[in-house]
Structure 1
Amino acid sequence: MFSQGQLLFAGCFFITFVIAISIAYRKDIKIHKKFYKGNYKILLGFLFFIGILFLIKILSKR
């Protein structure tokens, strides 16, 4: 399906991408802590809302 060169490129690209993202995140971690306090509350609210939608879907099938 894929040639050996394509697989090698994909592997190298993935490793390089993960390293670059990690470096960028470490540089911005102080900014994230300052400006994005309480972000977990939004995530929990979103997950709660999705859970309610699934519950409504399951209960409406009966």
Structure 2
Amino acid sequence: MFSTNQLIFAVLFFIVFVGIMVISYRKDKKLHKKHYKDTAWILIGFIFFIGALLVIKTLLKA
């Protein structure tokens, strides 16, 4: 399906891409802690909202 050179390119691209993402995250870690603190509450609220929608859908279906 893929040639050997395409597979080599894909693996190398993936390794370099992940490496750059890790380096970028480490550089911005202090900035993220400063500007994005308490964002876990937004995630919890979003999960609660999706759960409520699923419960309402199940109750109305029955």
Q: May I ask how many residue pairs the two structures share in their alignment? A: 62
- 1:6-32 CA-to-partner distances (Å, cap 9, x unmatched) read 121111111111110000000000001
Tell me how large the CA RMSD over aligned residues is: 1.1
In structure 2, what is the equivalent of residue 27 of structure 1? Answer: 27
In structure 2, what is the equivalent of residue 37 of structure 1? Answer: 37
Amino acid of the structure 2 residue aligned with 1:29: K
Q: Where does structure 1 lack aligned partners over 5 or more consecutive residues?
A: none
Q: Percent identity?
A: 58
Distance in 2 between the 1:14 and 1:48 partners? 35
- What's the TM-score, normalizing by structure 1? 0.87
In structure 2, what is the equivalent of residue 46 of structure 1? Answer: 46
Q: Where does structure 2 lack aligned partners over 5 or more consecutive residues?
A: none
- What's the TM-score, normalizing by structure 2? 0.87
